[in-house]
């Protein structure tokens, strides 16, 4: 007897991202997986009396989108924090006023958490300091996180609660900015891990769960059904936290959790290996931070080789955080010398690849690494880049077209909460190389643009491939997970300028409708 589907979506413009059958009208789902893809008549003929039928109303059905680089719990935290992004606070004074207003409703002694400020976009073109925050919040510890996640400002009470004084040495990976007298200014660079060990204990589990519920809903409202969590401190307790949130149905978005390079031994000692877990949660790449905050590579090239070799011996691919071209080049050199990965394990990755001029691109291509990058940064930060980045470097920022032309496997992420997780502004910038003001961003011939089909692939099938789940999701193909999103426009035929405005109308995870919009 032919299996009857549990759910069918009919009367839709189905873009499957499957080259063997790129377009269809309808999809049938049995359990958590796609049963059949075809015409309305074919799929309607399969339906039984108990089949849920969804009328797509001629809208476009896509595979569920995959955000290949985000920070889920940080995104959850921002749903309960003060937004200090440039469009909300354009000056240090405006940030101070927002903190003052927020502190009025927060009990004394409780942290006032803020996010999204950008020193380069502020009228003063500088970081706020503890002196800017002390007078307006003397009874609250204040933490203000930079939009990049790589800088934090604490007021004086916050510094005391974090145990940071003039006598505190800089941690190995970070910098405590100091004034002429050696006193901390409140500006801390590359110290989020340091601070999380000292300041996050005050957050209640219930508060975090509320934030996760909100973040989950936000992702689903954008049609994102899978994320790859790139937390550099991810260890066994984060794995268990995700497991608990999924079991409690607070989290329906699928997660590939990267392993923090410094936590890998703990994870493997607890019995986890690459790919451990299941469809809802599995262990992915080892995240290695490679920065130049102090003016030199950290870790140095030998430290990077050691971290990469450790991961490789344990059977893990690495994902190296690289922004500056020197970091991208170093990562490419190290990756090129690693032994082959086990069968079925996806390639090593370079995360961000923000600065990638032609000679660096050649090194990345020669290394065999894949790239996960963020074209959404051109959309959101293009005006700031044009103002603050060397004009000679601007054409080589996030050059998705050049990566694609070079044949380098590439997928897209948002880096949320560093940027808004909405994928469509990023897709728009990948296709048009225009920013949020509608201005063209500098590029060399073909360095910045890809087709709409390629951009969509980088948010679907390529994302699945680069987490090692390409046979399980990423396209609307029989046998794959029924992760689907119904959107209000066809990204392959609409005006490219309209891509940024596409909205999800329904998200389906594992054959269940988990979010509906108006």
Read off the CATH number of the domain in which 27 is found.
Answer: 2.30.40.10
Neighbours of 433 (CB within 10 A): 25
Of the pLDDT bands very low, low, confident and very high (cuts 50, 70, 90), residue 65 is: very high
State the CATH number of the domain containing residue 215.
Answer: 3.20.20.140
In a domain, 344, yes or no: yes
In a domain, 196, yes or no: no
In a domain, 42, yes or no: yes
In a shared domain, residues 16 and 103: no
Higher pLDDT, 2 or 477: 477
Of the pLDDT bands very low, low, confident and very high (cuts 50, 70, 90), residue 135 is: confident
pLDDT > 90? residue 205: no
Name the residue among 491, 493, 482 with its Cα closest to residue 458.
491
pLDDT > 70? residue 331: yes
Nearby residues of 171 by Cβ (< 8 Å), 6 or more positions away? 191, 194
> What was the pLDDT predicted at 110?
86
Of the pLDDT bands very low, low, confident and very high (cuts 50, 70, 90), residue 203 is: low
In a shared domain, residues 350 and 314: yes
In a shared domain, residues 355 and 454: yes
In a domain, 396, yes or no: yes
pLDDT > 90? residue 376: yes
In a shared domain, residues 230 and 183: no
Mean pLDDT of 160-187: 93
pLDDT > 60? residue 1: no
pLDDT > 60? residue 289: yes
pLDDT digits (tens, 9 = 90+) for 449-500: 999 999 999 999 999 999 999 999 999 999 999 999 999 999 999 999 999 9
Task: Give the long-range contacts of residues 402-407, CB within 8 A, separation 24 or more.
Answer: 402/356, 402/358, 402/361, 402/444, 402/446, 402/447, 402/448, 403/353, 403/356, 403/361, 403/364, 403/371, 403/373, 404/450, 404/454, 405/446, 406/361, 406/364, 406/365, 407/365
Residue 291, beta-bridge partner list? 298
In a shared domain, residues 217 and 269: yes
pLDDT > 80? residue 204: no
Domain hosting 243: range is 66-72+203-507
Arithmetic mean of pLDDT over the chain: 94
In a shared domain, residues 215 and 123: no
Q: DSSP class of residue 453? A: H
pLDDT digits (tens, 9 = 90+) for 427-442: 999 999 999 999 999 9
In a shared domain, residues 358 and 214: yes
Mean pLDDT of 396-418: 97
pLDDT digits (tens, 9 = 90+) for 234-260: 999 999 999 999 999 999 999 999 999
In a domain, 77, yes or no: no
Of the pLDDT bands very low, low, confident and very high (cuts 50, 70, 90), residue 447 is: confident
> What was the pLDDT predicted at 249?
93
What's the longest Cα–Cα distance across the chain? Answer: 82
In a shared domain, residues 48 and 105: no
User: What Cα–Cα distance (Å) separates residue 32 from each residue in 29, 54, 482?
Assistant: 7, 16, 6
In a domain, 384, yes or no: yes
> What was the pLDDT predicted at 24?
98
Instruction: Report the SS3 class of residue 123.
Output: coil
Of the pLDDT bands very low, low, confident and very high (cuts 50, 70, 90), residue 207 is: confident
In a shared domain, residues 375 and 490: yes
Distance CA 137, CA 112 (A): 9
In a domain, 33, yes or no: yes
In a shared domain, residues 420 and 289: yes
Region of 57 (left: φ > 0; alpha: ψ -120 to 50; beta: rest) is left
Instruction: Give the count of domains, the chain.
Output: 3
pLDDT > 60? residue 409: yes
Asked if 509 and 253 count as a contact pair (C-beta separation under 8 A), the reply is yes
In a shared domain, residues 468 and 416: yes
Task: Please state the φ and ψ torsions of residue 457, each to the nearest 5 degrees.
Answer: -60, -40
In a shared domain, residues 177 and 222: no
In a domain, 513, yes or no: no
Distance CA 462, CA 349 (A): 12
pLDDT > 70? residue 225: yes
Side-chain-side CA neighbours of 298 within 13 Å: the count stands at 13
pLDDT > 60? residue 194: yes
> What was the pLDDT predicted at 200?
60
User: What Cα–Cα distance (Å) separates residue 200 from each residue in 39, 53, 289?
Assistant: 53, 46, 21
Residue 36, beta-bridge partner list? 28
pLDDT > 90? residue 293: no
């Amino acid at each position: 007897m032919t299996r009857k589907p549990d759910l069918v979506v009919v009367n839709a413009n189905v873009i499957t991202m499957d080259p063997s059958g790129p377009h269809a009208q309808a999809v049938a789902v049995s359990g958590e997986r796609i049963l059949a893809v075809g015409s309305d008549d074919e799929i309607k003929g399969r339906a039984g009396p108990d089949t849920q039928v969804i009328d797509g109303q001629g809208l476009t059905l896509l595979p569920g989108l995959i955000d290949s680089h985000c920070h889920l719990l940080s995104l959850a935290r921002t749903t309960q924090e003060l937004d200090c992004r440039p469009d909300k606070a354009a000056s240090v004074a405006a940030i101070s006023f927002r903190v003052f207003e927020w502190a009025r409703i927060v009990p004394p002694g409780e942290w006032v958490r803020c996010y999204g400020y950008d020193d380069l976009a502020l009228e003063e073109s500088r970081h706020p300091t503890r002196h800017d925050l002390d007078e307006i919040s003397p009874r609250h510890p204040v933490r203000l996180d930079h939009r990049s996640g790589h800088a934090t400002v604490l007021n004086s009470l916050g510094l005391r609660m974090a145990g940071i004084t003039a006598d505190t040495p800089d941690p190995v990976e970070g910098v405590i900015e100091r004034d002429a007298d050696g006193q901390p200014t409140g500006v801390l660079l590359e110290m989020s891990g340091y601070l999380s060990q000292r300041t996050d204990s005050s957050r209640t589990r219930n508060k975090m769960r509320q934030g996760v519920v909100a973040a989950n809903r936000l992702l689903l409202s954008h049609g994102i059904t899978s994320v790859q969590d790139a937390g550099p401190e991810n260890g066994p307790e984060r794995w268990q936290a995700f497991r608990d949130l999924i079991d409690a149905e607070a989290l329906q978005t699928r997660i590939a959790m990267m392993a923090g390079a410094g936590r890998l031994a703990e994870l493997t000692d607890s019995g986890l290996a690459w790919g451990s877990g299941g469809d809802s949660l599995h262990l992915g790449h080892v995240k290695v931070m490679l920065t130049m905050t102090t003016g030199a590579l950290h870790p140095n090239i030998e430290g990077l080789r050691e971290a990469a070799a450790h991961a490789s011996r344990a059977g893990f691919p690495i994902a190296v955080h690289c922004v500056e071209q020197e970091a991208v080049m170093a990562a490419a050199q190290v990756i090129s010398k690693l032994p082959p990965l086990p069968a079925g394990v996806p390639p090593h990755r370079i995360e961000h690849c923000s600065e990638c001029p032609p000679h660096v691109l050649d090194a990345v291509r020669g290394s065999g690494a894949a790239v996960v990058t963020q074209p959404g940064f051109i959309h959101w930060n293009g005006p700031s880049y044009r103002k603050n980045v060397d004009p000679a470097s601007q054409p080589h920022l996030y050059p998705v077209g050049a990566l694609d032309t070079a044949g380098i496997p590439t997928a897209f992420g948002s880096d949320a909460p560093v940027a808004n997780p909405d994928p469509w502004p990023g897709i728009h910038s990948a296709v048009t190389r225009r920013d949020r003001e509608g201005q063209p961003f500098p590029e060399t011939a073909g360095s910045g643009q890809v087709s709409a089909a390629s951009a969509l692939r980088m948010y679907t099938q390529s994302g699945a491939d680069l987490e090692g789940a390409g046979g399980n999701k990423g396209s609307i193909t029989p046998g794959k997970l029924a992760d689907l999103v119904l959107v209000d426009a066809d990204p392959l035929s609409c005006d490219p300028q309209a891509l940024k405005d596409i909205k999800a109308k329904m998200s389906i995870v594992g054959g269940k409708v988990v979010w509906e919009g108006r």
